[in-house]
A and B are shown apart, each in its own frame.
Chain A
């Protein structure tokens, strides 16, 4: 902050030296701290974990360089299936939550209606609740539908746990994040553009699809990306409602008791690279990072 005037005093000089030298160094160190586990993940994806060579089953210690895991990334029982289930759940829950959340976002930003405060609280609550509480309460409710007295009443049984219960949970926790993201985009929206379209003879339906939707589309895409990444990585809530169904995080958590194959690091590295490329390409296209 060189433009700011300061009185030259010993403490002032000390503060400025602190800002100029210590803070940037500290920041670089902190960011290094954030990146170290990613580097470890990447490096250990090239580790040789070969039981026949006495490496054991755990990828915790460095043995030797090997491309084995990268050449056979799905070569472990259950890994491919769990990855496929994760992708499918993430895609479906993203589509559903994005539609439901966008509708709520539209209603909240462009209509005056009674109960807005209550709706806003209901949107906020899932984001302020520990995942653990959401997971266990949802799991308990699913169990309850399969037990008396609920079992004997005309409540549809949501038991046993499986893809459908995971989907219900993922859509639930994603809705709030979609609403918040879409609302942020709609807040800066110039309503006069819609009025202009209607003045030019467009009806509301046409106006929405030709003017409103294209303008809020980047916000909807950002919300969908967020929902997708939250869903594909979710472990805590999923662990309470998955039963015997594996998703990639659930499979990883299960296997690490008995083994830690380097394939886990390979999949993690691939997901990381794809996400970085997705963000980089969207940054290059729009000239600024998506928020």
Chain B
């Protein structure tokens, strides 16, 4: 402390600092310039560059990008095979979101309403640790679990229920040769990887439900399921919507999970990766990435109307 008191405002840095402090706009600008410059040049610049290229097209003969403004590439999005990819991705994202909401709710509800003290911290870490564990490690764990010779097959065999697993896998479209190359597998891994993103906002929303509101509902004669339906659930809904933003967006943009666990049919992310990599068709890859951006734009607008942003 004495160092602070004794040293006056000597030296160039000291005077410079004083001048900055006395002129808030200059201080503000000097604080903002570097980080904003970085974000705008590196990030926004790149996004604009990408968007720009989606209006170029590729010359089918030479395979080179033609730098002329055209909507031809966007037209290609509506070919049956690309529409298929988009539809498949949307269906998967919706299914994953619904499953995450159903599975997350009891965990969030318990953590918000009943867990106290040590248990609360434990629950919190119990959700945070899987959330922050390595994404690839989690996917890898499921590769081990769902492998034909893996633990799931073993458990079904031990319980003498192998016929159930076989029946599940023989369902057309969602089934397959083994769980690790079926849509069921892809779905399970997506749910596992993104569910913490649903638990946290739902828990936050539930924690904000005032206890006396629930008591009031009980005093007015509602039984516990009526209280849940008419009081708790409506108040938790913004949290669910907030969580669904993450689960939906993350599923839609992922290209690694369906590549490692799933059938060979493409999702949007994989299509983007293939177009920009092996196919060298940057314009189509760019146009394909615009699809999730537009969908998320619509989604966010609706979510905002439902008050989801207050629950974040």
Same complex = no
Hey, which bits of chain B sit against chain A, CB under 8 A?
none
Hey, which bits of chain A sit against chain B, CB under 8 A?
none
